[in-house]
Amino acid sequence: MKRTAIVGCGQTDHNGNRFDVTGVELIQEAVSRALQDAELTLDDIDGVVIGNMDHFEGINGVELWSISGNGGILKPTIKLTTGGTTGSTLAIGGYHLTASGLFNKLLVIGWEKNSESDTTGAITTAFDPVWDRLVFAGAISGLAVEASAYMRKFGVTEKDAARAVVRDRKHAVKNPHAHLRREVTLDEVLRAPLLSDPIKALDICPRTDGACAVIFANEDYAEKICPKPAWVLGAANRHPYAYLGDVEWYPLKSLDLAAKELYAKLGIKEPLKEINLMELYTPYSFANLSWIEALGLAKPGEGAKLIWDGVTDAGGALPINLSGGVLSTNPIGATGLIRAAECAHQIMGRAGERQAEGVKKALSTGFGGCFWSDILIYGSEKPS
Amino acid sequence: MVQKNRLKRSDFIFIESGEAFQPFQYSVGKEGSRFFTELRDHKKFFGLKCPSCKKVYVPPRKVCGPCFKTMEEWVEVGPMGTLSAFTILRFPFIDPETGEKKPVPYGYAFILLDGASTQFQHFLKVDPDWPPTIGIRVKPVFAENRQGKLSDILHFEAA
Amino acid sequence: MEPVAIIGVGQTVFGSNRKDQTYADLVYEATTAALADAELTIDHIDNIVTASNDFFDGRTISSMAVGDACGAAFGNGKSISTVEGDGSFAALYGFSRILSGSYETTLVIAHSKSSEGDLRLLTNAFFDPLTERSLGLDWVSAAALQARVFLKEKNISNIQCGNVVVKNRASGAKNPKAHVRKPLTIDEALRSPLLSAPLKETDVCPSSDGAAALILAKESFARKKSPHPIWIRGMGLCADAPFGERNLAESKALRLAAQKAYQMAGIDQPTKQIDVVELSEQFSYQELLWMEELNYQNSSRVNLSGGCLSAHAWIVSGLARMIEASLQLRGQASNQAANVKRALAHGQYGLCGQSHSVWVLEN
């Protein structure tokens, strides 16, 4: 049982179609940047963990197919995959595997090349072939249904949701890795074409090609590699429901339960005050209102107020998604891991133009599957 | 530093997977088979009731997840139900079932069938004169030629 | 390293086409069997690692279908993760979750129903789409290439391979969980029709439907609650270069994985110090190749369960080997050896054994 930290991160140049590289080369781009960030070489790494969603690229056994680019040749190599939560599941895996002492320096990689298939078609295959597939239409349809139930319950408006889009897209301008780096206005969001009521084109995340690599090291190595490592304080998750029809629409139960478990474990009573920064896997606008209620930042139905008050903007009391979030960049298998990397770089003081001040505790989430959630909390101080 | 790609798309070669696909014969299991048989032969819906929490599951399955108990008690549910959430799909995408673009727009509904504890998903008939709202009563419209699958129901519509 | 124990095991019967069961049903059967074997209930389990493969299950995020069936939703729900690869790799992650101090008891569960899809196409998808896939290769034709180079390099005869089939099928006949339970003579093995030269039908393992579950626990829990703890003393995992980029006549990855496991367990003379071995041999020649890389010479102590040549569910196989090795250590195996104190279990994944896990277990 060892304390463990993130000591280096690398992201590719994410965009809508990285036709200039193969999947293996895309992975390698993130790996070499992470190694550079940690000032390590592949020889220092004693294991590789990688994840994506198989059917998005149409390759079985991705960890073995991509091994020349992922650095796993003649090393332990493991694939983790849980759908949208893959990236955060990878971060949780990196934490457990290094904390176990079986691995000292572990390379963790999430990636997706969404441009190579029809994303909605591929996500639709995520649901039960007999019961769900006939009517289901990818992530957007499930989220639209959640939004409709949330709006109905609390009288939340499309304008409230649009404000969260404006925030994330404004933050993205300062992130050189973001896919969409153009600011948008409330009006633009509200007038964008309707995709699936009430979700409009700018309410939803883009399809992105990209990879992210994160190096985890345990206490025997972390401080030697990185002057200010981002210690992992804990993780929790919930992946309930076998069919979409089992989902209870409010609150996001998986996040509510996982957050409660982790807060209790770490003695966190007032997350809004005790956590300095969050990177949330909020793939559509309404999630930025409703899911922060599940995280205990606002009372039911009052998430929007926090957003309008600017509390979660850059410079606010609890900045959320300074990277621009998932609404600006979404290479699915990497997305949850990018959240971890962004928190880590903020703690390390390596977040460049998007750096927040005095980040002592940061929180990242992952979302996917059948309304599943993963959550991790990081700290600047080595846990006792 | 992030660099822009210097080469254009036309400078690259792409390889198409063509019509390659993976054919499957999915097992529906004992519970699912009973459900589809009843639907096909009698236009009836059946769920399974948990002996512990008493929740009625549709689709029926062997185990109640939260109680981890085997379910054996069949309960007839529906055919009427209440609309618990919905959206109207307006964007085109490739339907993995057919390989074709799915015709849009269509109503996508979560329906709480009378007597069931979980929601049943299906198409919702959307009528310009009848804007759907959460909470309305809905009924199924069945296909003439039923084969024991979900499309034995054409859609749900306002009751 | 703090000791971690295997405290419960469960397997379904392996069969060619379990049409009456969804793969979630198979998972439920194996999970409840493992809990009963451990004399525990689901509330004793504090986290779960599943193993599955989206291609074999014919859907993305196929683990979604098994969450309820393995108890992940029980009560307020449990922390869960999913490994894609051999079940023994999932066991490694489950093992590390206990060593990390985050959890006390991990349920590891693997399933597959390859009868639902087309195995040739499913395994063709392991190959690189740009360079190899269009050649029409699948897992059997790839293995034929490996067999050709290995048999030639080591001067191994058809009869030696046939003897592996005869031995494992004889053992499999005694195993009530096995898929193929009919013994075979050496003549029958040698006269079996060619599938992809030099591989004959009987050289190839069946592809079975089935599931297996293992319950791991930290030492304090195991000593208090388990009637028959089996201790993990060593483990190694290692992956090799892709199919087209390595010498198929050897397996450096398996050698390294074994070295690591032997070192942890303090083994320097494997043949002397290990009483029984459960190998993942998808093909007869692979048993000979894997034994060589494990530096293990006593073939009569290998695959007493019948091995993969008697039952082989993709994804599940390595976990099934760990279970059979544990049963030997408990003295409860179908084809029990005498005085078993230390056992080795092996899992593999990918084309021609690209990735391997090696476990050393003791009672």
The confidence score (pLDDT) of residue A338 equals: 98
Q: How far apart are CA A346 and CA A226, in angstroms?
A: 13
Question: DSSP string spanning A7-45?
Answer: EEEEE---BS--TTS-HHHHHHHHHHHHHHHHT--GGG-
C45 vs chain B: nearest CA distance in angstroms?
12
Tally the domains of chain B. Answer: 1
pLDDT band at A54; cut points 50, 70, 90: confident
The confidence score (pLDDT) of residue A58 equals: 87
Report if residue C78 sits inside a domain: yes
Report if residue B61 sits inside a domain: yes
The confidence score (pLDDT) of residue C2 equals: 82
The confidence score (pLDDT) of residue C216 equals: 98
Q: Are A40 and A225 in contact (CB under 8 A)?
A: yes
A171 vs chain C: nearest CA distance in angstroms?
31
| Three-point CA angle C131, C133, C135, nearest 5° | 90
The confidence score (pLDDT) of residue B1 equals: 46
List, in order of start, the domains of chain A with CATH numbers. Answer: 4-118+208-225 (3.40.47.10), 123-206+234-379 (3.40.47.10)
Question: DSSP string spanning A311-327?
Answer: TTSTTSSS-B-TT-HHH
The confidence score (pLDDT) of residue B8 equals: 83
Q: Which of C47, C68, C81, C109 should be substituted to probe chain A, the one whose Cβ sees the most A Cβ atoms within 10 Å?
A: C81
Domain that holds residue B33: 27-158
Closest Cβ opposite residue C20 in set B17, B20, B30: B30
Question: Model confidence over C280-320: pLDDT tens digits?
Answer: 999 999 999 999 999 999 999 999 999 999 999 999 999 99
Inspect the interface and report whether the beta carbons of A137 and B102 lie closer than 8 Å.
yes
Report if residue C136 sits inside a domain: no
Phi, psi angles (nearest 5°) of residue A166: -55, -40
Report if residue B36 sits inside a domain: yes
Q: Would you state the structure tokens that stand for residue A16, as one six-digit string?
A: 């809508």
Residues of A in contact with C96 (CB under 8 A): 96-97, 99-100, 102-103
A30 vs chain B: nearest CA distance in angstroms?
12
Q: Would you state the structure tokens that stand for residue C108, as one six-digit string?
A: 């590891």
Closest Cβ opposite residue B29 in set C20, C55, C117: C20
pLDDT band at B129; cut points 50, 70, 90: confident
Tell which residue, A216, A136, A214, A211, has the closest CA to residue A179.
A211
The confidence score (pLDDT) of residue B3 equals: 53
Phi, psi angles (nearest 5°) of residue C131: -115, -30
Q: How far apart are the first and last CA of chain C?
A: 17
Report if residue C45 sits inside a domain: yes
- CATH number of the CATH domain containing C8: 3.40.47.10
Inspect the interface and report whether the beta carbons of A239 and C72 lie closer than 8 Å.
yes
A244, B16, B94, B119 from A124: Cα distances, Å: 12, 21, 9, 18
Report if residue C344 sits inside a domain: no
Whether the pLDDT of residue A279 is over 50: the answer is yes
**Backbone region of residue A172 per phi and psi (left: phi > 0; alpha: psi in -120 to 50; beta: other values):** alpha
Report if residue C269 sits inside a domain: no
| Three-point CA angle A11, A14, A17, nearest 5° | 145
Q: Are C344 and C277 in contact (CB under 8 A)?
A: yes
Closest B-chain CA to A123 = B96
Report if residue B60 sits inside a domain: yes
Question: Model confidence over B12-31: pLDDT tens digits?
Answer: 887 777 666 678 888 889 99
Q: State how far Cα C79 lies from the chain centre.
A: 24
Report if residue C39 sits inside a domain: yes
pLDDT band at A327; cut points 50, 70, 90: very high
Report if residue B59 sits inside a domain: yes
Q: Which of A102, A231, A244 should be substituted to probe chain C, the one whose Cβ sees the most C Cβ atoms within 10 Å?
A: A102
The predicted model scores a pTM of: 0.96
Inspect the interface and report whether the beta carbons of A245 and B28 lie closer than 8 Å.
no
How many C-beta atoms lie closer than 10 Å to residue B23's C-beta?
9
Average pLDDT value for residue range A116-132: 75
Q: How far apart are CA A241 and CA A257, in angstroms?
A: 14
Lowest model confidence (mean pLDDT) among A78-92, A255-269, B11-25, C113-127: B11-25
Give the C window 3-62 contacts with B, CB below 8 Å. Answer: 18-25, 28, 42, 55, 58
Domain that holds residue C106: 4-118+207-225
Average pLDDT value for residue range A276-288: 98
Closest A-chain CA to B105 = A196
Report if residue C281 sits inside a domain: no
Q: Kindly report the average pLDDT of chain C as a whole number.
A: 96
Beta bridge partners of C348: C356
C173 vs chain A: nearest CA distance in angstroms?
32
Q: Are A302 and A310 in contact (CB under 8 A)?
A: no
Tally the domains of chain C. Answer: 1
DSSP state of A202: G
Inspect the interface and report whether the beta carbons of C126 and A60 lie closer than 8 Å.
yes
Question: DSSP string spanning B133-154?
Answer: -TT-EEEEEE-SS--SSGGGEE
Report if residue C252 sits inside a domain: no
Inspect the interface and report whether the beta carbons of C20 and B28 lie closer than 8 Å.
no
Q: What is the dihedral of CA C174, C180, C186, C189, to 10 degrees?
A: -170
ipTM computed for the complex:
0.97
Pairs across A and C, CB distance < 8 A? 194
Report if residue B1 sits inside a domain: no
Average pLDDT value for residue range A31-56: 96
